[in-house]
């Protein structure tokens, strides 16, 4: 079957690539319909590694996906061929300690699509556990469903923050994860969200998502903007979604006393952490690694209209142009948020 294969750092090919996948009793086979291009996919393409995960052999990319069930295992009763679904890409070890404690996203043995050496889903079909597959209502498009995976990060971050109705939130970074965090924070109860970035086009997209105030930190200090909006008090919640070392080091400046910081973006190198600033405000600090137990919530919010991800999908490529799609995403053009690839029928 034809797949988008990362041959090595900096070299992609769209070619025939055989993946042997046996349908187990609790598995489903899914025809892929839409696959999103994630920043991690692009990073593997441009750098060949993320931390300890190094591409040593050819690997199929893609992990944000939606499709149609074409076959079910002998013990699967909740799905049938023709069901529209999205899929959680991380499969933990059910016997692992982290999984048994409920934190399956922290299982060291998790098998995550397009994380070496596990193949991703930029290919015609995939076999996946039914327990990590989620049925879509007819009101949720494949394009929106392929956004559930990044949206899950934002929803999980809002849950970790324990957002309260009426909170003022700050989101640092208006990339895909930052903007889904804006949506999640508003849906969780934030009365307003202040978003910072250096890209005016992305900030304009953020502004249209609801009661959102954009701040371009090239021309204005985020802390000054937040303090001006809050009579000098600060934000109840700060979500650091940029992964930028300098931005991550300044998270306590716009925070209100007793507020919470949630680190969402993963910096590529260690950051400065001002313990004194955090202590003076008795800041609560949370960290997010992927997500757990949130896919059904995301599907439900998309289905009800509580969250609309369509403004974040800014470019779509056909599968035949997958290499071009990755080159486009890697060039980081201004105003582009989420690139998706439409799979063949």
Q: Which residue has the higher pLDDT, 172 or 345?
A: 172
**Across residues 20-43, what is the average pLDDT?**
96
The 3-class SS string of 2-28 reads: EEEEEEECCEEEEEECCCCCCCCCCEE
pLDDT, residue 201, reads 95
Pairing of the two strands 133-135 and 125-129: unpaired
Is 72:135 a contact under the CB 8 Å cutoff? Answer: no
Residue 71 tokens, joined: 């076959």
How far is the C-alpha of 35 from the C-alpha of 53, rounded, in Å?
Answer: 22
Taking the C-alpha atoms of residue 294 and residue 269, their distance in angstroms, rounded to an integer, is 28
Euclidean distance between the first and the last CA atom of the chain, given in angstroms as a whole number: 14
Q: Compute the CA torsion angle 337, 185, 224, 227 (nearest 10 deg).
A: 170
What pLDDT, in 10s, does the model give residues 209-236?
999 999 999 999 999 999 999 999 999 9
- For residue 195, the tally of other CB atoms under 10 A from its CB is 29
Residue ranges of the alpha helices (H) in the chain?
Answer: 39-47, 97-100, 142-145, 148-161, 176-188, 200-207, 222-229, 245-249, 275-280, 295-304, 322-330
Which two structure tokens, joined as six digits, stand for 31?
């025809």
Neighbour tally for 19: CB within 10 Å? 12
- pTM above threshold 0.85: yes
**pLDDT confidence bin for 136, thresholds 50/70/90:** very high
* Buried/exposed code over 298-309 (b: 16+ C-beta within 10 A; e: otherwise): bbebbeeeebeb
At 269, is the pLDDT very low, low, confident or very high (cuts 50, 70, 90)?
A: confident
| pLDDT for residue 228 | 97
For the segment 59-117, what is each residue's pLDDT rounded down to a tens digit? 999 999 999 999 999 999 999 999 999 999 999 999 999 999 999 999 999 999 999 99
List, for residues 151-179, the tens digit of each pLDDT value: 999 999 999 999 999 999 999 999 999 99
C-alpha to C-alpha distance for 289 and 90, rounded to whole angstroms: 12
């Amino acid at each position: 079957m034809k797949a988008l294969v990362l041959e090595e750092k900096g070299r992609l090919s769209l070619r025939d690539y055989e993946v042997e996948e046996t349908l187990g009793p609790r598995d489903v086979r899914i025809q892929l319909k839409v696959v999103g291009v994630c920043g991690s996919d692009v990073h593997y393409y441009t750098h060949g590694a993320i931390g300890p995960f190094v591409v040593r052999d050819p690997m199929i990319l893609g992990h944000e996906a939606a499709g149609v069930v074409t076959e079910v295992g002998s013990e699967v009763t909740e799905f049938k061929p023709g069901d529209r679904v999205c899929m959680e890409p991380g499969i933990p070890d059910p016997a692992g300690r982290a999984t048994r404690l409920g934190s399956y996203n922290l299982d060291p043995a998790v098998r995550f699509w397009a994380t070496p050496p596990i193949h991703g889903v930029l290919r015609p079909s995939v076999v996946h556990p039914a327990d990590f597959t989620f049925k879509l209502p007819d009101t949720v498009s494949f394009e929106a469903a392929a956004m559930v995976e990044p949206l899950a990060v934002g929803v999980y971050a809002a849950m970790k923050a324990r957002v309260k109705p009426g909170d003022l939130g700050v989101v640092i970074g208006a990339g895909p994860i930052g903007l889904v965090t804006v949506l999640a924070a508003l849906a969780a109860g934030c009365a307003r969200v202040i978003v910072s970035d250096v890209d005016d086009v992305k900030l304009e997209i953020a502004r249209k998502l609801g009661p959102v105030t954009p701040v371009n930190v090239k021309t204005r200090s985020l802390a000054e903007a937040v303090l001006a909006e809050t009579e000098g008090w600060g934000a109840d919640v700060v979500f650091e979604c940029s992964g930028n070392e300098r931005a991550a080091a300044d998270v306590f400046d716009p925070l209100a006393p007793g507020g919470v910081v949630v680190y969402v973006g993963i910096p590529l190198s260690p950051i400065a952490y001002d313990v004194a600033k955090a202590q003076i405000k008795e800041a609560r600090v949370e960290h997010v690694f992927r997500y757990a137990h949130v896919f059904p919530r995301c599907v439900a919010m998309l289905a009800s209209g509580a969250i609309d991800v369509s403004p974040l999908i800014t470019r779509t490529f056909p599968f035949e142009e997958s290499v071009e799609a990755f080159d486009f995403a890697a060039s980081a053009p201004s105003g582009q948020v989420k690139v998706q690839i439409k799979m063949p029928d």
